[in-house]
Chains A and B, each alone.
Chain A
Amino acid sequence: MKLTLKIWRQPSQNVKGKFETYSLDNVSEHMSFLEMLDVLNEKLSFEQKVPIAFEHDCREGICGTCSLVINGQPHGPLQGTTTCQLHMRNFKDGETIVIEPYRASAFPVLKDLSVDRGALDRIIQAGGFISVSTGQAQDANAIPIEKDVASHAFDAATCIGCGACVAACPNSSAMLFTSAKVAHLALLPQGKVEAQKRVLNMVRQMDLENFGNCSNITACEAECPKGISVSNIALMNREFLSASFSSNDAN
């Protein structure tokens, strides 16, 4: 295949970026999208040009490092698929592909296609955990958990923290990400104890990070590579409301 690539180049956070156009021949349909970028980078290197910075690691669709907005869609056109699992057979010979970084004020561009998603870590640090220190645990089977409840919590827990939900949202909201962790822990008996404090602190941190509000567009669910449901947002809203009325221990 022969491709034309329009790629966002930005030398650093405080320098204005722009699109540059590259053409690439002999792209195999068996290549993954990131391998296609590897080939382009090797070519740029040999032309003594600066390779394109993009983030990636496991290339198995589980670590959440890879990102990219491909032809306007976070992680590209294939549903339920991260960029690293997207293969070139999903594109046509002669096609022009536009590749951009995630766009959100909470995710500043660091270089080219790399953005800083540290805000998501800070939301977890605000309360996305159960306060149990090593050695304090009781026997694992001491609290039976209904299979359906465990399974529901699991569905929320599969979030890989890639940030595609934020990139997909016109408001750059992080509600899907935050609610997935709130739901995962609030559904489990172990997590109920500090559920109120957790949701208040996580939402407060989310707001501090300059993420937008949710206006029920649900693009986040459509683009989420792990299919996290927006029903988690509803659950978080319920948790947040009831905590707001009844709790005064948020800090």
Chain B
Amino acid sequence: MDNLNLNGNVPSGDLADKWTKYRSTLPLVAPNNKLKIEIIVVGTGLAGASAAATLGELGYLVKCYTFHDSPRRAHSIAAQGGINAAKNYRNDGDSVFRLFYDTIKGGDYRSREANVYRLAEVSTSIIDQAVAQGVPFAREYGGLLDNRSFGGVQVSRTFYARGQTGQQLLLGAYQSLSRQIALGNVKMFTRHEMIELVLKDGKARGIIARNLLTGELEKHGAHAVVLATGGYGNVFYLSTNAMNCNVTAAMRAVAKGAYMANPCFTQIHPTCIPQMGEYQSKLTLMSESLRNDGRVWVPAKKEDAKAIRDGVKTALDIPEADRDYFLERRYPAFGNLVPRDVASRAAKTACDEGNGIVPTGLGVFLDFSAAIERYGKSKANILGLSNPSHARIIELGEKVIEEKYGNLFEMYEKISGENPYKYPMKIYPAVHYTMGGLWVDYNLMTNVPGLFSIGESNFSDHGANRLGASALMQGLADGYFVLPYTIGTFLSEDISTPKLDVNAPEFTAAADLAKQRIDKLFAIKGKQSAESFHRRLGKIIWEYCGMSRTAEGLTTARQQVRALRDEFYTDLYLPGVANDLNPELEKALRVADFIDLGEIMVVDALDRNESCGGHFREEYQTPDGEALRRDDEYAYVSAWEFKGANQDPILHKEMLHFDNVELKTRSYK
């Protein structure tokens, strides 16, 4: 493979001054010229909605697309925990540098310093903006904003809105977007899915969007295209992503030459409700905060685990001495609070050894009984009860737990049908976020001129592992405060480019290409549904490119993905017709792209001969089983150039330089 070096176009100067200096000197587009420049924004999550609204405010002609029925539905809405910002309202020593440092370290030193610093820098403006929009963040009795500590950091910098921070932030962006729609600055296209990117003279100049109601392939032109299309977690089939999250827009860009960066960096969240059956369509996340009070365990004896799996015993039948609190045993210093990747891998190991406790074998207990008893005793003490009965202590303790986690316990009971106050929760890790994505430079532009990528759809800020409460921050930073400036560097060269003619041959060719892909799928007339292929793809990727990976497994996975692709194109069954609302066709197009992405992911994981963040290669671990990062050889971003199905993608490297932080090994023992 070639070692072609990529340049991130990071401006020179001191880290702390870079963004301010750059922002003050980058080329501008004059207001009268903005009125003649069109921008396409695909996606209406936090990144897309905030970008479309802000670009509209600036005076550009914005066209915004979503496959949902409304721009208020994107999966940003499901984020529970909160959003980080270096406000230092707690006076606990937080600063832009500290947020930058935590994010770089948390990402296991695989992200670009300048981007991460800028993210930390604009984080404070996001909170100001959201409050001005009316986002109802949690407040204290004095009327000022409340904060909490989140994801194991040592300062309280997380702003939150009950357990619905993502929802409230998205509604804030959606409302700003709605205002621009009413003003006529943004034209909104709902129920439209981008299925092709249009290039003209090597620049991104439009998209082909499928009208999901009529099936019509519409040609839309613009001076620049912004993809805010989210992550690719659904390549695993089962994930905490929404059902319709997909990688099609990004892969269509990749097919036209954009590079896919670090696709093997995926985040597995340790506390999700486990899979109960083959029919299951998605996994549900239970907030990370539960590990503050829950103890993770499996039965120490395999026969007990089997008895629980078979429904002969329950958790309550296992005596204390026969329980293996494996996180506390392996990580005495951090115990149940080890980071997401470490907790996830430990649960997998316990289940691989045969100690899993749900019928599929893939589940562990998260037990609140010790916390309930502890809180109950403390409460009894406060109430001055002498000699309270055990039942009374439990009653008091359950009340405390209810105050802290009531809504989560209720949600768990609704889904699982089990009372988590009486029986320990059953949990298992699930895919939650993807750090990889389209390669972008400091301007958030991909290697295709005029094509930008923001939010989870790009690779830029989280390295090999994302910290809690940082996804909302990045989506809004990109959309409100970065892209609207940096897009000017490209557009300022384009002020005399006339409105794009969608009857130009480039548009017709792209629409024909999209039509051919659709016709090809209908022509297969096989026997298996798109869903069944997706499920099988997910199993391959989860098995070999999930929580732990080996060169041998990844090689197998690549063969299996290729075989699956062949089978997909010879045995897909697609009902209905192309020119109608056809969810099966939407799914089939998405699965085709997931298969191609799956192969690139596996190739990337195979190339990265080290363990870092969410990427754990079994060959690269310390004698006591911890991740072994190899900074000497792998401190680079891998950006893959796709050469077509069944071809080897070409690796381009962007070398990472760390001038402001010292590379350290994470330890939680």
Interface on A for B, CB 8 Å cutoff? Answer: 12, 28-32, 34-35, 38-39, 42, 44-46, 48-51, 53, 55-65, 78, 81, 85, 87, 89, 110-111, 114, 116-118, 120-121, 124-126, 128-141, 143-147, 150-151, 153-154, 157-158, 160-161, 184-185, 188, 190-191
When C-beta atoms are compared, the residue in chain B nearest to A120 turns out to be B70
B72 touches A110 (CB 8 A): no
| Contact indicator per residue, chain B 80-103, by CB within 8 Å of chain A (1) or not (0) | 000000010100000000000000
Kindly provide the distance from the CB of B584 to the nearest chain A CB, expressed in whole angstroms. Answer: 6
Q: Which residues of A contact B175 (CB under 8 A)?
A: 124, 128-130
Is B11 part of the binding interface, using a Cβ–Cβ cutoff of 8 Å? no
| Bound-complex Cα distance A94 to B664 (A) | 62
Q: Could you list 25 examples of A-B contacts with CB < 8 Å?
A: A32-B281, A35-B280, A39-B279, A49-B575, A50-B575, A53-B583, A57-B242, A57-B243, A63-B75, A65-B69, A85-B411, A85-B415, A111-B581, A132-B132, A133-B54, A134-B50, A137-B131, A140-B137, A144-B144, A145-B143, A147-B140, A184-B136, A185-B134, A190-B131, A190-B133
Q: Which of B127, B131, B168, B581 contacts A114 (CB 8 A)?
A: B581
Partner of A130, one of B134, B142, B414, B573: B134
B164 at the binding interface (Cβ < 8 Å): yes
B77 touches A129 (CB 8 A): no
In the complex, A161→B53 CA distance in Å? 20
Are B139 and A62 in contact (CB-based, < 8 A)? no
Instruction: State whether A64 touches B72 (Cβ < 8 A).
Output: yes
Measured between beta carbons, the chain A residues less than 8 angstroms from B161 are 154
Knowing A63-B77, A137-B132, A147-B140, say if A125 contacts B178 (CB, 8 Å): yes
Q: Specify the chain B residue showing the minimal Cβ separation from A205.
A: B182
For the side of the interface on B, what is the size category?
35 or more
Residue in B73, B129, B134, B580 whose Cβ sees the most chain A Cβ within 10 Å? B134
Q: Which of A87, A110, A124, A154 contacts B414 (CB 8 A)?
A: A87
Partner of A45, one of B72, B131, B411, B573: B573
B54 & A134 in contact (Cβ 8 Å cutoff): yes
| Shortest Cβ distance from B414 into A: residue | A85
Residue pair A62, B167 in contact (C-beta under 8 Å) = yes
Q: Are B143 and A144 in contact (CB under 8 A)?
A: yes
Contacts of A121 in B (CB 8 A): 70-72, 178, 190
Contacts of B181 in A (CB 8 A): 125
Asked if B277 and A28 make an inter-chain contact with CB atoms under 8 angstroms apart, the answer reads yes
Query: What residues of chain B lie closer than 8 Å to A12, measured between beta carbons?
Result: 580
Q: A35, B279: Cβ atoms under 8 Å?
A: yes
Residues of B within 8 A of A34 (CB): 281
Contact B414 A188 (CB under 8 A): no
- State which residues 1-58 of B face A: CB under 8 Å: 50, 53-54, 57
Question: B529 within 8 Å of A by Cβ?
Answer: yes
Q: What 4 new A-B contacts, CB under 8 Å, besides A46-B573, A85-B415, A154-B161?
A: A32-B281, A38-B281, A61-B411, A150-B137
Given contacts A56-B243, A132-B133, contact A62 B575 (CB under 8 A): no
CB of A153 to closest CB in B, whole Å: 5
Contact B529 A138 (CB under 8 A): no
A204 to B576, CA, bound (A): 41
Q: Determine which residue in A46, A51, A124 has the highest number of CB atoms from chain B within 10 A of its CB, and name it.
A: A124
Residue of A with least CB distance to B277: A28
Query: How far apart are the CA atoms of A42 and B57 in the complex, in Å?
Result: 45
Cross-chain contact A153 with B178 (CB below 8 angstroms) = no
B73→A64 contact, CB < 8 A: yes
Are A58 and B145 neighbours in the complex by a CB distance under 8 Å? no
A136→B415 contact, CB < 8 A: no
Residues of the A chain whose Cβ atoms lie less than 8 Å from the Cβ of B176: 129, 132-134
B581 and A125 form a contact (CB under 8 A): no
B588 to chain A, nearest CB (A): 11
Residues of B within 8 A of A150 (CB): 136-139, 143
Residue pair B581, A137 in contact (C-beta under 8 Å)? no
- Is A191 touching B70 in the complex (CB atoms < 8 A)? no
Q: Is B626 an interface residue (CB 8 A)?
A: no
Contacts of B128 in A (CB 8 A): 137-140
Residues of chain A lying within 8 A (CB to CB) of residue B583? 51, 53
A81–B616 Cα distance when bound, in Å, is: 39
CB atoms of B69 and A118 under 8 A apart: yes
Known contacts A46-B573, A59-B282; A31/B132 CB under 8 A = no
A121 to B127, CA, bound (A): 25
Write out, one digit per residue, whether chain B residues 404-427 have a CB within 8 A of any chain A CB (1) or not (0): 000000010011110000000000
List the B residue with the shortest CB-CB distance to A159: B171
Q: How would residues 445 to 478 of chain B score, 1 for a CB under 8 Å from any chain A CB and 0 otherwise?
A: 0000000000000000000000000000000000
A81 closest partner in B (C-beta): B414
Q: Produce 1/0 per residue, B262-291, CB < 8 A to A.
A: 000000000000001101111011000000
Residue B634 at the chain A interface, CB threshold 8 Å: no
B143 in complex: contacting residue of A78, A137, A147, CB < 8 Å: A147
Which residues, 110 to 139 on B, are CB-close (under 8 Å) to A? 125, 127-134, 136-139
* Complex-state Cα separation, A110 to B531, whole angstroms: 24
A-B CB proximity, top 10 nearest:
A144-B143, A129-B175, A137-B132, A137-B128, A154-B136, A140-B131, A125-B182, A58-B242, A133-B57, A134-B54
Residues of A within 8 A of B481 (CB): 134-135
- How far does the alpha carbon of A140 sit from the alpha carbon of B115 in the complex, in Å? 24
Interchain CB contact (< 8 A) of B242 among A59, A114, A143, A158: A59
Q: Which residues of A contact B581 (CB under 8 A)?
A: 53, 110-111, 114
Beta-carbon contact of B190 and A118 below 8 Å = yes
Q: Is the CB of B162 within 8 A of A131?
A: no
Task: State the Cβ distance, B485 to closest chain A Cβ, in Å.
Answer: 10
Report the minimum CB–CB distance from B128 to chain A (whole Å).
4
Query: Which of B53, B162, B167, B417 sits near A30, CB closer than 8 Å?
Result: B417
Does B480 lie at the interface of the complex (its beta carbon under 8 Å from any beta carbon of A)? yes
Contact flags B173-203 to A (C-beta < 8 A → 1, else 0) = 0111011011000000010000000000000
B174: nearest residue on chain A (CB-CB)? A124
Interface presence of B356 (CB below 8 A)? no
Given the complex of chains A and B, what is the CA–CA distance between A134 and B168 in angstroms?
17
Cα A133 to Cα B50 in complex, Å, equals: 10
**Interchain CB contact under 8 A, B213 and A110:** yes
In the bound complex, what is the Cα–Cα distance between A40 and B168 (angstroms)? Answer: 35
A126: chain B residues within 8 A (beta carbon): 182
Establish whether residues B167 and A29, one from each chain, have CB atoms under 8 Å apart when the complex forms.
no
* Contact flags B326-345 to A (C-beta < 8 A → 1, else 0): 00000000000000000000
Q: In the complex, what residues of B have CB within 8 A of residue A64's CB? A: 70, 72-73
Whether the pair B171, A157 counts as a contact (CB closer than 8 A) is: yes
Partner of A116, one of B68, B69, B129: B69
Residue of A30, A51, A124 touching B277 (CB-CB under 8 A) = A30
Q: Are B70 and A141 in contact, with the CB atoms below 8 A?
A: no
- CB-based contact A188/B134 at 8 Å: yes
CB contact under 8 A between A42 and B531, given known A63-B73, A124-B178: yes
